[in-house]
Amino acid sequence: MSASDDRSAAGRGGLNPPRQTSAEVRIGIDVGGTFTDFVLSGAPGGLVFHKEPSTPADPSAAVESGLVAVVAKAGLAMGDVTLVVHGTTLGLNAIIQRRGGPIGLVTSPGNTDVLEVARCRMPNSVDFHLTKEAALVPRNLCFAIPARLMVDGTVLMRPEPADYDRVAGSLRAAGVATVAVMLLHSYLHPALEAEVARELAARLPGVAISASAQIWPESREYERALVAVLNGFIAPLMQGYFSRLESRLAARGLTAPISITTSNGGSVGLRSAGERPIETVLSGPASGVVAAAQAAAGTRFTQLITLDMGGTSSDIALTKAGEPEYTTRTTVGDFPLVMPVVNVSAIGAGGGSILWVDPQGVLKVGPRSAGAAPGPVCYGRGGTEPTVTDCYLAIGWIDPDAFLGGRMRLDRAAAEAALLPLAARLGFTGADAPARVAEAALAVATAAMATELAKGLAQRGEDASQFALMPFGGAGPTHANLLAEAARLPAVLVPPAPSTFCALGAILADVKRDFVRSLRLRLGAEGAMARLRAALSALSAEATNWLAGEGTMLAGHILSATTEMRYAGQSFELTVDWTAEAFDDPTPDMLAELFHRVHEGVYGFRDTASAVELTSLRVRVTGRMAPVELPAAPMLPSAAPPGTRRVFRAGSWRDVPVWRREALGFGAEVAGPAILEQEDSTLVLLPGWVLRADRQGNLEMLRAATSTP
Amino acid sequence: MDKVTLEILGRQVTAAAEGMGFTLQRTGRTLYVKEASDFGTALVGLDGRFFGYPRTIGVSHFLDLDCGPTLRAVPDLEDGDVIITNHPFLSEGLSTHLPDLNLIRPYFHEGRIVAYGWCFIHSADIGGRVPSSISPSNTDLFQEGLMIPPMKLVRRGEMNPDFLTLYRSNVRTPDQNMGDVRAQLAALHVGRLSVAEMIAQHGVDVFLEAQEALQDYADQKARAVFARIPDGEYHAWDYLDDDMVSTFPVRIRLTLRVNSGRFALDFSGTDPQVATAYNIPTLGRRHAWFTARLIGCVATHDPSIPMNAGVYRAVTAFAPAGSVVNAEPPAAVGVRQPTGRRIFDMMTAALLQGDRTLMAAASGGVSTPVVLAEEETAQGDRNVVVLEPMIGGMGAREGHDGVDGRDSGTSNLANNPIESIEAAAPVLVLHYGLREDSGGPGRWRGGAGLAFTFKVLRDGCTVLARGMERCRFPPWGAFGGRPGLPFRVILNHGLPGEQVIGKIDQLSVEAGDTVTILTPGAGGFGDPFVRDPEAVLRDVILRVVSAESAARDYGVVIREGAVDAEATEALRAARPPRDTAGIDYGEEREAYEAVFDDDAMARLNAALFALPRRQRGRARLRVMQAAVPDMPQAGHRPLVEVLADSGAARLRFEDALAALVRA
């Protein structure tokens, strides 16, 4: 999949990087809707966690106060910190809420509607009430310039100075803050587009102009234009935030560099992030997946499905052998994004999903959500409709006094009261009615999640029995066992501090960026391999040069390549990861065989009679961070559970043992049913399952029948 | 049954059908599967109806197909058997054209059948007169390919080798087709595993009970939506531009009778089947091509409805035998899709008359792949490239403008990037964008169609565009909303030698020619003269509507980028009162119906259906031609000109009809 690189300027590949030294103090930060999470590594006592209430108006305020708090908690000074890695959903929110811009778009003649036409599709074909996505660049801010290339690079039209003057004048009059330029075929022949960008920049001081091929030179004009437009749309906002953040933290005495996590599960320096904020938009969930993949390293579970249960939805991702699954077909808000990102997809209800009963008397969960505000009824923040979280409370899974370590008291009576009207509609009576509704709702929500999960696996041709579920986020561990049972997953692996996982992922994230070239070549054709090799070395050089500017924290780096390939005549490509052997010396046969194998896996057959085409090459540079030493769990004897709790299951209440998670050292075993509480989450173990603590502080949950060694 | 279990099983049967679909999509060979999603999967109950149908994969409009007749045609099913058929008439409308290869497998539990799995794939070729088997100019089913009556493809797990030999030798792409068959068998296998899992979890009795209960549930939900329509009769008719044999439109007529949430669809009055391939084989009963629009209607208003045949339990249908929507063998049926699309629009019009909040005005209503074929090389190769699958806009509805340049109800296929087109075909795309001023004016504006202009760079090319409709009568508006603009194709637009082309059969082009395709704008909704002037201004600023149209169609005067309130008020006040009830089908259709009105057509069809089937087409043409000898091709001379003297044409019609009746 990847290859050590021994030709690069930055030195030999670091397959055995040094362990982190105690002198390194890293802080990971993840900004969520309710809390901003902090994880500090490198302190004498191991990892230090902290949660700070978020400040949505200016997220950097919570970052500042939380950073001060976590450094103090660790007994360190600000000057001891060597790196801050920060994840933010600011860019994503700006896109969803259309808070960026104003931005202009300049295209070849006849192509100004590239965003309007898009790919001509609606999200589905049965809902007539769907509307089109609100435009990022309204039609009157899209301008044609007489610049046109043919597919072979022939310049059909080249603008005159008067054309530049005219278009620049229109853009100035429109008052745009940024401009994206996208010419047809610039992905193969970027010079004319760069020239247009340059000429317009000279006439529009103070307006940032980006050329599509400079950001992401891949074929398909709509998707390429979108990358440039989305980037330009959020750039002013993000740059403003980054500089505010930098000055706030500098004022507190921080001298360490700041990195920003990226959608591909990596991180980049603040300057790179400011230039290409589009790379950061899906970074939050990606970091959690990175942390999961690393937390499972050293366990016997090599294939994971991660489960991040948030307020509005539950997200899953797959990892294999420590590597997340990537995709180049994802969406940001309403828009497709073709850059490679960690493949995270929603499978249904989150903790804030609302319960309701339809006119036919059938219980439903979601898709409406109470989100973080007003939130579940039990939060007492104005929510009146019962949610999934209220259900956990009503059946006794969550202790209302121990939520978030007791920092937030939950109102169980209010949750039960909110469930009662549904009970009447469903025909549940008696004192147990709220609990019966809650149990039914969790069954409905779980069935929906399980079927979505099964669908996702079916689409990939994967088999559920080969994966362990790793939950994180606040509610993930609470719901994980239910989902594993319904989805027929053999195991659940719960990491030590699941609720601050994205912040932990930020610390663990390597420095990463992807570089792309479009090629359009046919394997075996005259000159094809020469072009491919030339592109490979050009991209490799570009990648290592970029990395050299990303600071000195790195323990070495690796380069890897993927290509988009297809059989001649197909209009969709498949992504093919190159082996190290292919990276070092690619041959047509080797690449064709790699493609055949992927095609066989995805589509069930190979077509050796057809020629194989290669449309683009991507090179990823990964600057490896020294891994964080995660503390080993102490060996503790299994003691008796410290308490019990009344839990509703299958129509009746029974006492279930409640453990403190800290009490379970390496080797400890618990048989379900049981509840495990820790500061940031509650773990539920169902009857028929057993749990065992491993050496790294993870808890393995297995079906009782298969758990005997 | 217990409603929590019902909800859970509802999810599971949908997921099971979708799992079959993903398997089919992953393993199928033909491009129709991978790129046009022209395939389907479902779980079938003992009654032959679908109780589990995908929401997210495959075609959405086949929910109302019936496997019953096919199952009855192949008795004595054993575990491991698989039925195959593509025969439109012997499957009684399960397959509606020959390329759709349908497979059904019984699922056994402890020795008895507890459900069936179903799937179909549109094969790349099933033999017949032309490559890929479909052509509008096919005149009977025998030209359309190999016919497979319902029979066993697999017997107790063993493929029938004789059938395979026969099959392979009758199709142009045997290896691909065999790949498809294997993919279908794989999908049916996956469905069987899902059924076994559900039975293991819930027990066989609950599983069987759920098949009924889920359809009851869908029935209740559908009726709750249908009940919004007041009892009564609602009429709608629409036209195919022509049948390719003559230039006269082909009429389809619907009466929707509503009685406390029950729907009876009656297609009496529809024209006789045509000699070309536009016929639909429905057997005259309730059928997916009749009821497809209803699932969109119901699912839009209640997204939580389970996808199963119960949606249609309150619906019955009748269509006269020998009509274009209930063709008799051996009618050609390959291009039934444009006819089906007209039924979608008629159903929409009928429902709207019952409740104006239920549906939107007519969408562009077309799905036309524009294809460029190069000259054959000396080696006999021919480069054939789909440039764009062209669609129109979406209709406006109460409170909302229609969507510009998209039409999910037609096929919802992704388009092709210009960069891909230009790499694959000798063309230069000069323009691809919204067709300005094409959306029907209305208080809520209809979605604009698309404009696509390309220059041909090589001599000897041919442009093809199958399924062009709405060239003659545009998508209609509702409740004062105006129709959109019709489909147009123009050769060398704005250049010397400009030529308006009607429906393209095969258009020969040379290097330097430009071809402009203008797809229909959708219908508007509500009186345009009460549209918020600021909304009109916004459309003008965004150049979706011109300032001229703003004044003419909306009564809004825009000067120097702002609404001139006084002038607008004056212009709006000066307009004579307009009828804003019902549907506005536009002037061209009014001109046509001044000659060929509903009553005249009913009498003509009564006379035609009294004749032997083979004589109907020619007799009809005689009468129509007697009335209007110079009926222009769709999209050429406007009918308001041609039929200016409708009285005379009407007299000629009556004479010819009388002569026909006498004979």
Q: Note the pLDDT tens digit of each residue in B349-393.
A: 999 999 999 999 999 999 888 999 998 888 777 788 889 989 999
Task: Give the pLDDT of residue A17.
Answer: 37
Secondary structure (DSSP) of A380-418 = TSS--S-BHHHHHHHTTSS-TTTGGGGTS---HHHHHHH
- Residue B505's closest CA among B371, B629, B324? B371
Task: Give the pLDDT of residue A635.
Answer: 65
Task: Give the pLDDT of residue B542.
Answer: 97
CA nearest to B415 within chain A: A119
The confidence band for A639, taking pLDDT boundaries of 50, 70 and 90, is low
- Residue B100's closest CA among B40, B23, B49? B40
Rounded to whole angstroms, the Cα distance separating A416 from A555 reads 54
- Residue A557's closest CA among A494, A644, A619, A480? A619
Distances (CA, A) of B396 to A131, A683, A691, B441, B587: 11, 50, 58, 9, 20
8 Å CB contact of A126 and B304: no
pLDDT in tens, A436-488: 999 999 999 999 999 999 988 888 878 899 999 999 987 899 999 999 999 99
Q: Taking residues A110-135, what's their average pLDDT?
A: 90
Task: Give the pLDDT of residue A39.
Answer: 94
Distances (CA, A) of A277 to A60, A115, A483, B159, B330: 17, 20, 35, 57, 63
- Where do you find CATH 3.30.1490 in chain A? 3-10+510-625
Rounded to whole angstroms, the Cα distance separating A612 from A554 reads 38
Tokens of A576: 């093919």
pLDDT over threshold 60, residue B441? yes
Task: Give the pLDDT of residue A552.
Answer: 66
Residues 473-532 of B with CB under 8 A from A: none
B chain contacts of residue A452, beta-carbon cutoff 8 Å: 15
Distances (CA, A) of B271 to A145, B441, B663: 52, 31, 20
3-state secondary structure B202-235: HCHHHHHHHHHHHHHHHHHHHHHHHCCCCCEEEE
Is residue B138 within 8 A of residue B144, CB to CB? The reply is yes
Compare CB distances from B414 to A119, A125, A602 and report the shortest one's residue.
A119
pLDDT over threshold 50, residue B347? yes
Give buried/exposed letters for A180-216 (b at 16+ CB in 10 A, else e).
bbbbbbbbbbbebbebbbebbbebbeebbbbbbbbbb
Is residue A120 within 8 A of residue B410, CB to CB? The reply is no
User: Taking all residues of chain B, what is their mean pLDDT, rounded to a whole number?
Assistant: 94
Amino acid found at B609: F
B chain contacts of residue A604, beta-carbon cutoff 8 Å: 26-27, 183, 186
| Dihedral Cα B67, B69, B74, B75, nearest 10 deg | 100
A399 exposure class (CB count in 10 Å sphere: 0-12, 13-18, 19+): middle
pLDDT in tens, B42-81: 999 999 999 999 988 888 889 999 999 999 999 999 999 9
Q: Taking residues A647-673, what's their average pLDDT?
A: 91
B chain contacts of residue A458, beta-carbon cutoff 8 Å: 18-19, 22-23, 190
Rounded to whole angstroms, the Cα distance separating A166 from A154 reads 24
Task: Give the pLDDT of residue A4.
Answer: 39
Rounded to whole angstroms, the Cα distance separating A49 from A410 reads 22
- Residue B284's closest CA among B251, B328, B232, B253? B328
Compare CB distances from B432 to A113, A127, A361 and report the shortest one's residue.
A113
CATH number 3.30.1490 given to A3-10+510-625: yes
pLDDT over threshold 70, residue A709? no
| Dihedral Cα B3, B4, B8, B11, nearest 10 deg | 50
Task: Give the pLDDT of residue A16.
Answer: 35
Tokens of B82: 């698989």
A chain contacts of residue B295, beta-carbon cutoff 8 Å: 126
Is residue A456 within 8 A of residue A305, CB to CB? The reply is no
pLDDT in tens, B491-528: 999 999 999 998 887 899 999 999 999 999 999 999 99
Task: Give the pLDDT of residue A197.
Answer: 98
Task: Give the pLDDT of residue B31.
Answer: 66
Task: Give the pLDDT of residue B221.
Answer: 97
Helix residue ranges per DSSP H, A252-397: 270-275, 283-295, 388-394
Report whether the peptide linkage leading into residue A159 is cis, meaning its omega lies within 30 degrees of zero: no
Pairing mode of beta strands B39-44, B50-52: antiparallel
Task: Give the pLDDT of residue A21.
Answer: 45
pLDDT in tens, A56-87: 888 999 999 999 999 999 999 999 999 999 99
Q: Where are the beta strands (DSSP E) in B150-269?
A: 151-155, 158-159, 232-240, 250-259, 262-266
- Residue B87's closest CA among B132, B151, B167, B147? B147
A26 three-class SS: strand
- A507 phi and psi angles, rounded to 5 deg: -65, -35
Helix residue ranges per DSSP H, A151-203: 161-174, 191-203
For residue A576, what is the enclosing H or E element? strand A574-577
Task: Give the pLDDT of residue A217.
Answer: 95
User: Taking all residues of chain A, what is their mean pLDDT, rounded to a whole number?
Assistant: 90
Q: How many helices, marked H, and strands, marked E, lie in chain B? A: 17, 24
For chains A and B, count residue pairs whose Cβ atoms are closer than 8 Å.
Answer: 189
Is residue B457 within 8 A of residue B443, CB to CB? The reply is no
8 Å CB contact of A117 and B414: no
3-state secondary structure A611-646: CEEEEEEEEEEEEEECCCCCCCCCCCCCCCCCEEEE
pLDDT over threshold 90, residue B534? yes
- As a whole number of Å, the end-to-end CA separation of chain A is 33
8 Å CB contact of B403 and A122: yes
Asked if the C-beta of B355 comes within 8 angstroms of chain A's C-beta atoms, the answer is no
Compare CB distances from B450 to A117, A426, A602 and report the shortest one's residue.
A117
Task: Give the pLDDT of residue A642.
Answer: 81
pLDDT over threshold 80, residue B35? no
* Preferred mutation among A107, A128, A347 to probe B, highest tally of B CBs within 10 A: A128
Compare CB distances from B429 to A110, A119, A426 and report the shortest one's residue.
A110
- The full set of domain ranges for chain B reads 3-221, 360-527, 586-662
The confidence band for A34, taking pLDDT boundaries of 50, 70 and 90, is confident
* Preferred mutation among A149, A154, A221, A360 to probe B, highest tally of B CBs within 10 A: A360
A chain contacts of residue B452, beta-carbon cutoff 8 Å: none
Give buried/exposed letters for B376-397 (b at 16+ CB in 10 A, else e).
eeeeeeeeebbbbbbbbbbbbb
- Residue A696's closest CA among A645, A643, A633? A633
Of A259 and A603, the structure prediction assigns the larger pLDDT to A259
8 Å CB contact of B299 and A126: yes
Is residue A338 within 8 A of residue A331, CB to CB? The reply is no
Q: Taking residues A237-257, what's their average pLDDT?
A: 95
Strand order in the sheet with B367-373: B384-391, B367-373, B461-465, B507-509
Q: Taking residues A522-541, what's their average pLDDT?
A: 95
DSSP assignment, residue B525? B
Answer positive or negative: Cα dihedral of A90, A95, A98, A100. Answer: positive
Compare CB distances from A443 to B8, B27, B220 and report the shortest one's residue.
B8
Half-sphere exposure of B298 (CA within 13 A, CB side): 31
Tokens of B309: 């045949």
8 Å CB contact of B34 and A572: yes
B chain contacts of residue A125, beta-carbon cutoff 8 Å: 60, 296, 408-409, 411-412
Rounded to whole angstroms, the Cα distance separating A459 from A445 reads 21
Report whether the peptide linkage leading into residue A59 is cis, meaning its omega lies within 30 degrees of zero: no
Task: Give the pLDDT of residue B663.
Answer: 82
Of A357 and A88, the structure prediction assigns the larger pLDDT to A357
Task: Give the pLDDT of residue A553.
Answer: 65
A306 exposure class (CB count in 10 Å sphere: 0-12, 13-18, 19+): buried
8 Å CB contact of B26 and A604: yes
Rounded to whole angstroms, the Cα distance separating A261 from A506 reads 6
A chain contacts of residue B360, beta-carbon cutoff 8 Å: 128
B652 exposure class (CB count in 10 Å sphere: 0-12, 13-18, 19+): middle
Q: Taking residues A188-199, what's their average pLDDT?
A: 97
8 Å CB contact of A604 and B360: no
8 Å CB contact of B417 and A139: no
The confidence band for A591, taking pLDDT boundaries of 50, 70 and 90, is very high
| Size of chain B, expressed as the number of residues it contains | 663
pLDDT in tens, A221-245: 999 999 999 999 999 999 999 999 9
Q: What is the residue whose two structure tokens read 């006379």?
A: B607
Rounded to whole angstroms, the Cα distance separating A199 from A164 reads 7
Cα B286 off chain centre by: 16
Give buried/exposed letters for A639-668 (b at 16+ CB in 10 A, else e).
eebeeebebbbeeeeeebbbbebebbbeeb
What percentage of chain B has pLDDT greater than the value 70?
99
Q: What angle do CA B595, B597, B601 make, to 5 degrees?
A: 105
Q: List, in order, residues 6 or more apart from A87 with CB less than 8 Å away.
A: A28, A29, A30, A31, A260, A261, A283, A284, A287, A502, A503, A505, A506
pLDDT in tens, A338-389: 999 999 999 988 999 999 999 999 999 988 999 877 889 999 999 999 999 9
CA nearest to A444 within chain B: B8
Of A463 and B329, the structure prediction assigns the larger pLDDT to B329
Q: What is the ipTM of this complex?
A: 0.93
Task: Give the pLDDT of residue A23.
Answer: 57
The confidence band for B226, taking pLDDT boundaries of 50, 70 and 90, is very high
Rounded to whole angstroms, the Cα distance separating A212 from B370 reads 29
Is residue A442 within 8 A of residue A364, CB to CB? The reply is no
CA nearest to A453 within chain B: B15
Task: Give the pLDDT of residue A297.
Answer: 84
- As a whole number of Å, the end-to-end CA separation of chain B is 63
Give buried/exposed letters for B535-562 (b at 16+ CB in 10 A, else e).
bbbebbebbbbebebbbebbbbbbeeee
B395 three-class SS: coil
Task: Give the pLDDT of residue A633.
Answer: 66
Rounded to whole angstroms, the Cα distance separating B104 from B88 reads 15
